[in-house]
Structures are given as C-alpha cells and as structure tokens.
Amino acid sequence: MIAIGSDHAGFALKQEIIAHLREKGTEILEMGCMDGTSCDYPQVAKQVCDEVTSGRAELAILVCGTGLGISIAANKCKGIRAAVCTDCYMAKYTRLHNDANVLCLGGRVIGGGLACEIVDTFLAASFEGGRHQRRVDQITALEEN
Ligand code: RB5
C-alpha cells in the first residue's frame, strides 16, 4: 500500500499521480487534501507519515508547492526518511542508499510526466543494505538526541 497526500499547492499533481498509479494497479491510500482549498502541509505530512510508521503503508508520496516544506515536516516524524526528488537518479539512489520511505515532490516545480516517472523509479527501487545500513542506522540514532 502506498499512501499519498498533498497540500493545496500539490493537489493537482497528486491527482495526476493517483490516476497514474491506479492505471498501473498499485494499491493506494488516498489522503488529504481532497481539493485545492488552502491547508497546512505539516498536518498532511504527519497524517501520511503515521501510515508509514504504523506499517499500514509500505511507502508514501507527499506533494506540496516545492516539495520542501512537506519534506522538512515529514523528517521530524520518527522513523521517516523523506527525500525531495526532481529527477529519476535521485529517486533511485535515495531508495538504494538512504532507504527513503517517503518521496516528496513539488507541484509547482515539476510536471506530471516527470513526476510519474520519478514515482515509478522510487517505487521500483529497493534498499541495498550493506555499508548503507550502517549509515541509515546513524541517521536513526540522531532521532534519539
Ligand atoms: C504553499 O503556498 C507552499 O508554501 C507550500 O505548498 C510549500 O511549497 C512549502 O514548502
């Protein structure tokens, strides 16, 4: 299950991504916001990240205007490694090396075609472990301080 949420600035791109994933048959958990009415991205980040940390969602996608605010908020949630990606290379390697569990996108930054390719790349890639596990463990340890 892939959870997906956005604020108002990410709403249009979120809808494009949802349509794309539904067409591919990906099981998704559609979360707020449900229209383009102004809302606060930290609250959306918290709701969506809770789905990941509880184990209900395997991975999540968050969209705001830039992808930045919502990623900053998501990274305050324990157990979350959120990455803003603007290309497929970043999307691949943040899964392989950082074990990112939340992909953040900017609805005012990239178009739907590129965003859907980034999403596909992120969802298809897997954490490599090995030397990267040690580094991810060190990131997790930072949550305790
Ligand atoms: C909303 O106007 C905008 O600030 C928000 O979507 C996001 O880009 C913040 O980082």
pLDDT (tens digit per residue) in 110-143: 999 999 999 999 999 999 999 999 999 999 999 9
Q: Mind telling me the catalytic residues?
A: 64, 97
Strand order from edge to edge, sheet including 82-84: 28-30, 2-6, 59-64, 102-106, 82-84
Indicate if the alpha-carbon torsion angle 84, 129, 139, 74 is positive or negative.
positive
Chain segment 1-51, per-residue pLDDT in tens: 999 999 999 999 999 999 999 999 999 999 999 999 999 999 999 999 999
pTM of the model: 0.98
**Confidence at residue 109, expressed as pLDDT on a 0 to 100 scale:** 98
Residues 97-119: what's their mean pLDDT?
98
Say if ligand 1 is within 6 A of residue 41 CB.
yes
The full set of domains in the chain, from first to last, is 2-144 (3.40.1400.10)
- The proportion of the chain whose per-residue pLDDT surpasses 70, expressed as a percent, equals 100
- Closest-CA residue, ligand 1 atom 5, reads 65
Chain segment 82-94, per-residue pLDDT in tens: 999 999 999 999 9
CB neighbour burial string for 40-69, b if at least 16 within 10 angstroms, e if fewer? ebbebbeebbbbbeeeebebbbbbbbbbeb
Say if ligand 1 is within 6 A of residue 44 CB.
no
Distance (angstroms) between ligand 1 centre and the Cα of 66 equals 6
Q: Give the ligand 1 atom nearest the CA of 72.
A: 10
**Confidence at residue 145, expressed as pLDDT on a 0 to 100 scale:** 74
Only one residue has tokens 């892939």, namely 2
Distance (angstroms) between ligand 1 centre and the Cα of 45 equals 12
